[in-house]
Structure 1
């Protein structure tokens, strides 16, 4: 079963985040002349695989289509979805880069704080969940996944002026992806302009997400910042909904003026503007508008030079090209590992981190013009990293497991030390395979995404700044319990209120209640023998839009609720009967848990007056 696709949302805690940290800087005055900028369309494809019209439109597009973002169940889900597997493979086969959706949860810094599936709100737990979701995408869908989209990005550098804490958290995930999956494309979505501290947070930044009206009439916070206007256009993606034939040209022109190398303009609208793709004339015009008229090939860059390499990285530089060069692509051993804007008139510099000590690498650079044309590759530079000079760290001590549940456990260990080196990171292995890479000041994690009734062995190693690696900690073995996923399901109906409750014993992204109000299994979304006219998903109520067996739901506004409590996994909801189109005399109900853990249905059961 598909879940309600998540909207690529600007931060729900956006106001709180701006108030807590540094505010956005003033934007530069923008040019009104539309530059001859080559762009690519990128699609947030939160589109059910069953919508073949939309997917055919995407897959029959020209080379102007850059990438698509896919979202199985607010992430990769708990198992390989064969339907999505075919859809992802087909998109990849058509030459599109496919990016998997990962929720960063604002690292728990929004107001109210977002919870991980295990119920935590701290930044370390969100980092752990994000890294595990990244692992699942590549494990489930293999080489058909070309990168990761990190949603719910924050828009301030840190919680206080002068702090880069928030930006550094995204930079850590960005490095984690690039280290473990070289050549992957990364995107972070603040949905609004951000300060330059986010330059290393991802390869691409969603610097606008909103309506066409707001895009063409931006507030000061929505307008691009000075550094964006001067940076590589391929660093930015603008997402605009509510676009039609009357404003498409204005939107596409504005995206070029805003120096956005990636654009998506859709006629779809809220509450979910990403559950269909544009088709027909508007889609063809959008794709065509991304092309540039010039086709000048930039001059081949000179051979890059390197400062003395260190054990885990190297600083490269090369002579910058003419102002007609938009940016450069850097290749390590033939793999595109990064892009950077043209630094004319000074030298352009780029740092490659996460390398192995005493290892030889080959680097080349290609220039890219504003018209999208690439130069030939520069002569190659061979670089050998320094040896790991630091003293080997001590092994992490006394690894323990506590708070064991069906889907998770708390791990803690004693910090490693080194005589002359700083502890840079810890790797956490599960059954012999590294699953997490964490900053060196973290010595406790709530590890999730475990399978009920399964034995796991955990260990930890430390890494020094110079590339040294400790011996492994002691191993800890646990067996997760295997409870019935949903118990105590119940429903009650009065003339004024419908009450639902169930104990969810596994960690799910979605706690759902399917409600059949007309007692007709042939109308509404069909699940487990009922025809659901309404759906409660987590804390929201939806009505089946066309009363058909389609995953198409319209939000129903309530003055409060419907979720009234979720303490200890016991979910309780109350819905006034006035929220239903017709006051029911009986309800057929199915409870459902999906996403992160294997889906489970409880019911059907009936509640009557």
Structure 2
């Protein structure tokens, strides 16, 4: 992840089964991980124009929504949305801290709850910054096992909880989770769409046995699955698209771009035209209108819908609408009834539901006759207020809050909602009694409280308020560079949470070459734990990874970050001009150049 506008997806690869003699006439949609610099107007022209086959793009400002509205990105997002293309905001799940080594949140935590809270806050901030032009959320770094041990669904439960939070707080949102590889069927309800393949053309056309498409995908709703294939020659677009249709992938993206970042450009010209055309179906059949749905189970905050499945093999799925708003898709489960569960509803409220059948070719039927349903009342007694709320570990951007569990009435506690200045900032399960809340503003007064919420949505009184004012330190300070005979050491104190802790290094003393930043032309870049060399002489964000024997990151303790790089890396240079920078999650900060000599 070397650019604030370009973050690679998970690189795990699931290979595809080659196309069979008769390719299904599957009507696919193109979906694009658009991690493209705003300066690449040619690529963006492909994605901000109306295309019937282009369904959605994923945008990424700074490994998420950044710290405030970015005017340049807002123009791109608004333009794409206005053209009829859905825009999904990128967030990182960090594998919920389960990877080895464990990924850390911007606040430095590795536990699953902290990752869940950060993901919830990132999702909310996309909608806060860009409003109705955001159509959904893309969750990167998805796991591909149900849980840490056989029989456990702990990982799936986390993704489902995040998915419910997004749908409940942002009705009509489209959600995508990216394991980048085949997953077991336990993942079916973790998001609306699953990236079940991400990899190269070579992997896709020459599958190994262990990378075969899962049978449940072949049998399921094609609109549940997205395949992303890079390094695809233009001459092979038709063949790869046919293979993806045989693999029952309803969403597809092909690009000629290659590693290290195959998503920093978009196809243009004849390649783009061919890709859009190849995903379309030839059939124009419109399915018949499905039966009126029934409400088989109604409770205070949700309900289950059911309807008679079509016996036609050409009906692959159904679209579900609540009060005219599209809220989800589900496969055709013939001969069993097709079912859909709606959550995050308000008690004692009337809702109207319709469904539309989806043909293999992607055409939709007319919507069914509506079914009106009124949710159950709040039947339980409210839980007791959470006790002993206290704050600790206060920084410029975060605070740790802890409380004691609420007393239980006849209606068990389901969630705790955490509020800052009256706005809900996170929701955690009943077993969780502490959170590390981030994305606070420096030098700002906050009042925090917590409320318990029961299964029937009865809400407790608020916990005793915790009031604080966040400190307002210099974003980056005490920066230093020691250009030694064998090792060059870089160190700085980062006092704010940045997604990217950057060190730009000019080794040739020429500001006209390399990447322009802070008055220098950077030939090398340290970013978090990676080391990169500028790949071209042009003033563009174009970096190639450099492998070091160790490092460059030596330590990061309390924001004091130390990096080491062999001095031989900089050739015959006798002086370095160095710019320390932080970006993402907090406002960009760039220090004046430091000159170090040896």
Same fold (TM over 0.5): yes
> How far is the alpha carbon of 1:172 from its aligned partner?
0.7
Cα distance in 1 for partners of 2:168, 2:578 equals 47
Contact preservation (8 Å) 2:417, 2:451: yes
Contact preservation (8 Å) 2:19, 2:243: no
> How far is the alpha carbon of 1:398 from its aligned partner?
1.6
Instruction: Specify the alignment match of 2:258 in structure 1.
Output: 269
Cα distance in 2 for partners of 1:120, 1:220 equals 38
TM-score (norm 2): 0.97
Does 2:161 align with 1:172? Answer: yes
Cα distance in 1 for partners of 2:215, 2:562 equals 49
> How far is the alpha carbon of 1:597 from its aligned partner?
1.2
Q: 1:253 aligns with which of 229, 237, 242?
A: 242
Does 2:111 align with 1:122? Answer: yes
Contact preservation (8 Å) 1:192, 1:221: no
Instruction: Specify the alignment match of 2:596 in structure 1.
Output: 607
Cα distance in 1 for partners of 2:23, 2:341 equals 33
Q: 1:427 aligns with which of 405, 417, 429?
A: 417
Cα distance in 2 for partners of 1:60, 1:463 equals 44
Cα distance in 2 for partners of 1:451, 1:199 equals 37
Cα distance in 1 for partners of 2:212, 2:154 equals 24
Instruction: Specify the alignment match of 1:41 in structure 2.
Output: 30
> How far is the alpha carbon of 1:545 from its aligned partner?
1.3
> How far is the alpha carbon of 1:29 from its aligned partner?
11
Does 2:149 align with 1:149? Answer: no
Contact preservation (8 Å) 1:208, 1:237: yes
> How far is the alpha carbon of 1:568 from its aligned partner?
2.3
Contact preservation (8 Å) 1:193, 1:221: no
Does 2:520 align with 1:530? Answer: yes
Does 2:559 align with 1:569? Answer: yes
TM-score (norm 1): 0.95
Q: 1:518 aligns with which of 505, 508, 529?
A: 508
Does 2:128 align with 1:135? Answer: no
Instruction: Specify the alignment match of 2:9 in structure 1.
Output: 8
> How far is the alpha carbon of 1:332 from its aligned partner?
0.6
Question: Secondary structure of the equivalent of 1:467?
Answer: coil
Question: Secondary structure of the equivalent of 2:550?
Answer: coil
Contact preservation (8 Å) 1:428, 1:434: yes
Instruction: Specify the alignment match of 1:17 in structure 2.
Output: none
> How far is the alpha carbon of 1:61 from its aligned partner?
5.4
Task: State how 1:365-384 maps to structure 2 within 5 Å.
Answer: 365-384=355-374
Instruction: Specify the alignment match of 2:332 in structure 1.
Output: 342
Instruction: Specify the alignment match of 1:18 in structure 2.
Output: none
Cα distance in 2 for partners of 1:557, 1:28 equals 34
The verdict on how the C-alpha distance between 1:80 and 1:310 changes in structure 2, with shifts beyond 3 A counting, is same
Instruction: Specify the alignment match of 1:327 in structure 2.
Output: 317
**What do you get for the CA RMSD once the two structures are aligned?**
1.8
> How far is the alpha carbon of 1:387 from its aligned partner?
1.2
Does 2:317 align with 1:316? Answer: no
Contact preservation (8 Å) 1:332, 1:364: yes
> How far is the alpha carbon of 1:3 from its aligned partner?
2.0
Cα distance in 2 for partners of 1:468, 1:596 equals 34
Question: Secondary structure of the equivalent of 1:112?
Answer: coil
> How far is the alpha carbon of 1:2 from its aligned partner?
6.2
> How far is the alpha carbon of 1:31 from its aligned partner?
5.1
Stretches of structure 2 lacking an aligned partner (at least 5 in a row):
none
The verdict on how the C-alpha distance between 1:296 and 1:557 changes in structure 2, with shifts beyond 3 A counting, is same
Number of aligned residues? 596
Stretches of structure 1 lacking an aligned partner (at least 5 in a row):
15-23
Instruction: Specify the alignment match of 1:95 in structure 2.
Output: 84
Does 2:175 align with 1:186? Answer: yes
Single out whichever of 28-37 and 567-576 deviates more from structure 2: 28-37
Task: State how 1:223-262 maps to structure 2 within 5 Å.
Answer: 223-262=212-251
Q: 1:68 aligns with which of 48, 57, 60?
A: 57
Superposed CA offset, 1:254-288 (max 9, x none): 11011000000000011000000011111111110
Cα distance in 1 for partners of 2:324, 2:50 equals 27
